[in-house]
Amino acid sequence: MGLVQVATNTITSATASVTLTGIDSDDVYMVAVNNMRPASDGVNTYLRVTKSGTPDTTSNYDRAFQDLRTNTGFGNISSVNADRILYDNIGNATGEHFNAIFYLYNFNNASEYSFITNETTSSRTDGSGRGRQGGAVHTVASASDGVEFHYESGNITSGTFTLYRVV
């Protein structure tokens, strides 16, 4: 297995969202997120798929994760018919950040749902870091060309976001 870089974006100053596009084949794609940090404390980290470069805001996202916490027991998390995929809640203190690997399936296929598997981690200064493993689906049979990341409020202040085609 190899990776071919399709798009990358490194954030060094506050921005509302990050969009990675370029999915144009039926291959599996991978997104790596490194050191994503928010401007505001205690905000949720979200992902949406893009259609022709624009985030799809319809309520057609389902998710299910295993939540692996450092300060308490494990748990299951799920939701259906959301308008975006919630991945984590993170703060802006020094040392707090979000990292992830996402695999994207069926994105270029207009007759299938877009599926995502994820492995995410977050670090927090209060000792409540976590990892989440699971998947999500955009329940619309239409082609998707990328993904968009944002926080529920406030800006992304740093992070490197890279889209790869898996070969």
pLDDT tens-digit map of 110-137: 999 999 999 999 987 777 788 999 999 9
Range of the domain at 44: 3-112+126-166
Percent helix, strand, coil in the chain (nearest 5)?
Answer: 0, 60, 40
Q: Does some domain include residue 52?
A: yes
Dist CA 66 CA 131 (whole Å): 8
Burial (Cβ within 10 Å: 0-12, 13-18, ≥19) of residue 33 = buried
Residues 26-45: what's their mean pLDDT?
Answer: 94
- pLDDT score, position 96: 87
Q: Does some domain include residue 10?
A: yes
For position 95, which CATH number holds? Answer: 2.60.120
Q: Does some domain include residue 43?
A: yes
- The percentage of the chain sitting over the pLDDT mark of 90, rounded to a whole number, equals 80
How high is the mean pLDDT of the chain? 94
pLDDT in tens, 21-32: 999 999 999 999
Q: Does some domain include residue 36?
A: yes
CA neighbor of 37 nearest in space, from 118, 115, 99: 99
pLDDT tier at 109, thresholds 50, 70, 90: very high
| Overall domain count for the chain | 1
Token couple for 38: 């928010």
pTM score of the predicted model: 0.94
Q: Does some domain include residue 39?
A: yes
Dist CA 3 CA 19 (whole Å): 19
Residues 91-105: what's their mean pLDDT?
Answer: 91
- pLDDT score, position 95: 82
Give the type of residue at 59. S
Q: Does some domain include residue 160?
A: yes
Q: Does some domain include residue 47?
A: yes
